[in-house]
Amino acid sequence: MAKDNTFSGMAHNALTAETTVVGKIVSQKDIRIDGTLEGRLECQGKVVIGETGQVIGDIVAVNAEVVGRVTGNVMVAEMLVLKATSSLEGDVQARRLAIEPGAVLNGKCTMQPPLDEGGEA
Q: What is the arithmetic mean of pLDDT over 9-34?
A: 89
- The pLDDT value recorded for residue 11 is 62
- The pLDDT value recorded for residue 1 is 44
CB distance 46 to 65 below 8 Å:
yes
**CA-CA distance, 104 to 107, in Å (whole number)?**
10
If you count them, how many residues does the chain have? 121
- The pLDDT value recorded for residue 116 is 56
Lowest-confidence region among 7-11, 14-18, 89-93: 7-11
Taking only the tens place, the pLDDT of each residue in 28-69 is: 999 999 999 999 999 999 999 999 999 999 999 999 999 999
User: What are the helix and strand counts (H, E) for the chain?
Assistant: 0, 19
pTM (2 d.p.): 0.84
